[in-house]
Chains A and B, each alone.
Chain A
Amino acid sequence: MSLGSSLRIALRALARNKLQTALTTIGMTIGVATVLTMIALGTGAEAAIEQQVRAAGMNLIVVTAGNYKTKTEDDGGGVVDHQAQLAPRLLAPRPQSLAPHLVLAAFHPEDDPMQKHDHPTARQRLGDTEAGLGAAATLTPADAEAIRGLRGVQFVSEGIHENVHAAAGNARWFTRLHGGDVELPSIRRSWTFTSGRFFTAREQSRRARVVVLGAFVAQKLFGDANAVGRTVQLWKQPFEVVGVVASGSWMVGASAGDDQFDAVYVPFTTIHELLNLSKLTDITITAASTGDVTRVSRDVTALLRERHHIGMKDPDDFTVATQARQSLARGGLRPDVARAVVGNVGGLEKVTLEQLGRTLDRATRTMTALLGAIAAVSLLVGGIGIMNIMLLSVTERTREIGIRRAVGARAGDVLRQFLVEAIALSVFGGLAGIALGAAASGAIAQMLRWSTSLSPASIALSFAVAAAVGVFFGYYPARQASRLDPIDSLRYE
């Protein structure tokens, strides 16, 4: 008998008792829906955690100029962390003859005592510590450019930070000014622009007087009016407002004194020109992969040591820090994820990204295992339901089996007929389950803000699982049917 005929006979048999068919498939529907939701949640969770981790800055590396923590050899030859014992102190500046960038910096125009400035000079701002000459000024834009070339580095932003009076009309607000790179919004993933945009590469290269306001500053200076296109005075220089940036996270709002939204952003090139500076306070880097942070920070350290001509035994003149711990503490992570991490890792100080990744992975696996158990039980119950109804069907249709055998159906034909019927039953349930699972994943994504992903592969897998359950639980009844004696079947009342 052809497969088409088998299928047609099976569908007709199922159509004869629609209610029974529908009820039988419910178990399968739930099972397959759970399988699909499980896969969707599992893959979605991975993506979600990765995204959360990035948004929280888990792939963030910050290189700060200067080194406030230095290791020296003690009498015993061991390495001792002096920070714990000694008051923090600045590392002495390196001999200028060995550092060309410091030699150049010695001729900073701001240092000309005859020069008149329309802004506070570095000397005025920083007191006795000479701007660009202190230990805290060892990073250059060229360093940042070199870091951009490293493998595994995703985004790099030069950073220079000042305090500034921002003024618009009569409104004044004392705030933070961040000189940054155009890539900064890619690093601060939780940013959204309530109006306007970030400054462009062109504006950056032309050292344009443009400024992006943090939402809090915009509120202070312009109230609810649109700030874009207005002018803000920084150091008495007019800057055009090109955008207003706010927090895209529902958990973090703009508040006075916060570093991101009670702040203004200007191209670092503009700041360099305006303030006659050539150094950077820090360089912010993101690693392309969260798991790669440790390696990238190591590479950055090696690169900068080489560029700064630091000898083997000399300490770094910069500090490389990853942001995992700070981010956790700040609450940039979803509270439940952060709780899971904190709860599972003894000693928050020791959290490494690898540990963090493992912990998140474990949390995901726990949930997947739970859903997997539900799916397995549903599929088992659904499969037994199918087996039950098929056994009943074989008994009910004993006479039909006898008739078919009498006109020449082989035992194998009968087996195939009932097996196809069981698979059809199972696949119907599976299709309904795929629809239900897709709906459930969508609903979960909506309600829990947990991203889910439905791939064609997972749908195909669910379908295959349904068919496999049909084969597994349909085989026994089908074999029973095929083994019936033709004469007994014909006589069956």
Chain B
Amino acid sequence: MPLLRVRDLVKTYQVGDVAVRALRGVTVDVAAGEFVAVVGPSGSGKSTFMHILGCLDRPTSGEYRLEDRDVSRLSDDELSAIRNRQIGFVFQGFNLLARTSAAENVELPLLYGPDRVSAAERRRRALAALDAVGLADRATHHPNQLSGGQQQRVAIARALLNNPSILFADEPTGNLDSRTSVEVMEIFQRLKNERGITIVLITHEQQVAEYGSRIIAFKDGQIVSDQANQRQRLAVGELALLPTG
């Protein structure tokens, strides 16, 4: 039973009079614990693919089962609940709330969870999540007081707060320098190895994709190649070689 089961997924946008076919029949399975890198040039449909897998969008046709549940026809509220509990997002632009502290950004998913969590408990869990990404001492900082790498780590802490089974990362290193990029990849690989979290990484850079255990290449809304990565880069080792600072 694959974690993600996608069959003949089609997504067509209507832009004015023109129908843009972003996905033209995508079929793929992703097993739990995989680190899948999705590569492709811009406009290849990889972002649309991620949005549908991340329950932010619904396919025009085709089937998408998440943990054996057909989510392609769920209501908006049900999709919200899945995003809240089973899915974490990391974006290129970090997408943190401005003028809001790191800890408050991290505890955001708890506000929309099914259980009423007390403010103290929210704060405790947010601090624990920040600690896991090495930012316990930055809890009260606002995003504009943090570096890009730190902001991305806050975003990761937020994504992980509800212990999701899948993490979707959309160009997470796009706004970062090489060293912090490697740091973020190190966190992803550690999450996969230590917690068994499934990671779907969207990128247009082949080098970044090589941190994944499996690489899926997109072109013109279709998968052109899908194979296990024999030469997976290991961020831990690279980090040790990189000069600090």
Tell me the A residues contacting B by CB distance below 8 Å.
Answer: 1-2, 5, 16, 399-400, 402-413, 486-487, 490
- Contact A407 B77, beta carbon cutoff 8 Å: no
Q: List A contacts of B112 (CB < 8 A).
A: 1, 404, 407-410, 413
Q: Given the complex of chains A and B, what is the CA–CA distance between A490 and B93 in angstroms?
A: 9
- Contact B108 A486, beta carbon cutoff 8 Å: no
Across the A-B interface, the 10 shortest Cβ-Cβ residue pairs: A408-B84, A408-B112, A410-B80, A407-B109, A409-B112, A408-B83, A410-B77, A486-B56, A403-B95, A406-B89
Are A1 and B99 CB-contacts (below 8 A) given A406-B89, A487-B51?
Answer: no
Query: Separation in Å of the A433 CB from the closest CB of chain B?
Result: 29
Q: List A contacts of B85 (CB < 8 A).
A: 408
- Contact A487 B83, beta carbon cutoff 8 Å: no
Closest residue of B by beta carbon distance from A5: B111
**Residue in B51, B76, B108 whose beta carbon sits within 8 Å of that of A407 in the complex:** B108
**Residue in B84, B91, B97, B99 whose beta carbon sits within 8 Å of that of A490 in the complex:** B91
- Contact B109 A408, beta carbon cutoff 8 Å: yes
- Contact B97 A405, beta carbon cutoff 8 Å: no
Closest residue of B by beta carbon distance from A2: B116
Q: Given the complex of chains A and B, what is the CA–CA distance between A403 and B85 in angstroms?
A: 15
**Interface flag for B135 (CB, 8 Å):** no
Q: List B contacts of A407 (CB < 8 A).
A: 83-84, 89, 108-109, 112, 158
Residue interface mask B139-151, A partner, CB < 8 A = 1: 0000000000000
Q: Given the complex of chains A and B, what is the CA–CA distance between A35 and B19 in angstroms?
A: 55
- Contact A399 B95, beta carbon cutoff 8 Å: yes
**Residue in B54, B95, B108, B113 whose beta carbon sits within 8 Å of that of A402 in the complex:** B95
- Contact B111 A1, beta carbon cutoff 8 Å: yes
Query: For B108, B113, B158, which residue has the most chain A Cβ atoms within 10 angstroms?
Result: B108
8 contacts between A and B (CB under 8 A): A407-B108, A407-B109, A408-B112, A409-B111, A409-B112, A413-B112, A487-B51, A487-B56
- Contact A411 B95, beta carbon cutoff 8 Å: no
**Interface flag for B57 (CB, 8 Å):** yes
Total residues of chain B contacting the partner, CB 8 A: 25
**Residue in B77, B84, B108, B116 whose beta carbon sits within 8 Å of that of A411 in the complex:** B77
Q: List B contacts of A400 (CB < 8 A).
A: 97
Q: List A contacts of B56 (CB < 8 A).
A: 405-406, 486-487, 490
Are A487 and B95 CB-contacts (below 8 A) given A407-B83, A407-B84?
Answer: no
Closest residue of B by beta carbon distance from A409: B112
Q: List A contacts of B99 (CB < 8 A).
A: 16
**Interface flag for B81 (CB, 8 Å):** yes
Q: List A contacts of B95 (CB < 8 A).
A: 399, 402-403, 406, 490
Q: Given the complex of chains A and B, what is the CA–CA distance between A490 and B56 in angstroms?
A: 10
Residue interface mask B50-86, A partner, CB < 8 A = 1: 0100101100000000000000000011001101110
Q: List B contacts of A490 (CB < 8 A).
A: 56, 91, 95
Q: List B contacts of A408 (CB < 8 A).
A: 80-81, 83-85, 109, 112-113, 162
Given contacts A411-B76, A487-B57, 4 further A-B contacts (CB under 8 A): A406-B83, A408-B113, A486-B56, A490-B56
Query: Separation in Å of the B79 CB from the closest CB of chain A?
Result: 9
Q: Given the complex of chains A and B, what is the CA–CA distance between A403 and B56 in angstroms?
A: 11
Query: Separation in Å of the B210 CB from the closest CB of chain A?
Result: 27
Q: Given the complex of chains A and B, what is the CA–CA distance between A406 and B84 in angstroms?
A: 8
Q: List A contacts of B89 (CB < 8 A).
A: 406-407
**Residue in A2, A16, A404 whose beta carbon sits within 8 Å of that of B108 in the complex:** A404
Q: List B contacts of A487 (CB < 8 A).
A: 51, 56-57
Query: Separation in Å of the A418 CB from the closest CB of chain B?
Result: 15
Q: Given the complex of chains A and B, what is the CA–CA distance between A409 and B97 in angstroms?
A: 14
Q: Given the complex of chains A and B, what is the CA–CA distance between A410 and B85 in angstroms?
A: 13
Query: Separation in Å of the B226 CB from the closest CB of chain A?
Result: 25
Q: Given the complex of chains A and B, what is the CA–CA distance between A2 and B114 in angstroms?
A: 10
Q: List A contacts of B109 (CB < 8 A).
A: 407-408
Q: List B contacts of A399 (CB < 8 A).
A: 95
Q: Given the complex of chains A and B, what is the CA–CA distance between A400 and B108 in angstroms?
A: 11
**Residue in B77, B80, B97 whose beta carbon sits within 8 Å of that of A403 in the complex:** B97
Q: Given the complex of chains A and B, what is the CA–CA distance between A408 and B110 in angstroms?
A: 9
Query: Separation in Å of the A398 CB from the closest CB of chain B?
Result: 12
Query: Separation in Å of the B217 CB from the closest CB of chain A?
Result: 23
Q: Given the complex of chains A and B, what is the CA–CA distance between A2 and B113 in angstroms?
A: 10
Q: Given the complex of chains A and B, what is the CA–CA distance between A14 and B219 in angstroms?
A: 46
Q: Given the complex of chains A and B, what is the CA–CA distance between A208 and B5 in angstroms?
A: 111
Closest residue of B by beta carbon distance from A16: B99
Closest residue of B by beta carbon distance from A482: B76
Q: List B contacts of A402 (CB < 8 A).
A: 95
Query: Separation in Å of the A228 CB from the closest CB of chain B?
Result: 71
Closest residue of B by beta carbon distance from A4: B119
Query: For B51, B91, B111, B113, which residue has the most chain A Cβ atoms within 10 angstroms?
Result: B111
Q: Given the complex of chains A and B, what is the CA–CA distance between A410 and B76 in angstroms?
A: 7
Q: Given the complex of chains A and B, what is the CA–CA distance between A474 and B85 in angstroms?
A: 30
Query: Separation in Å of the A443 CB from the closest CB of chain B?
Result: 41
Closest residue of A by beta carbon distance from B113: A408
**Residue in A2, A5, A16, A405 whose beta carbon sits within 8 Å of that of B80 in the complex:** A405
Q: List A contacts of B51 (CB < 8 A).
A: 487
Closest residue of A by beta carbon distance from B116: A2
Query: Separation in Å of the A248 CB from the closest CB of chain B?
Result: 61
Query: Separation in Å of the B93 CB from the closest CB of chain A?
Result: 8
Q: List A contacts of B97 (CB < 8 A).
A: 400, 403
Q: Given the complex of chains A and B, what is the CA–CA distance between A413 and B111 in angstroms?
A: 10
Q: List B contacts of A412 (CB < 8 A).
A: 77
Q: List A contacts of B76 (CB < 8 A).
A: 410-411
Query: Separation in Å of the B81 CB from the closest CB of chain A?
Result: 7
Closest residue of B by beta carbon distance from A412: B77
Q: List A contacts of B81 (CB < 8 A).
A: 408, 410
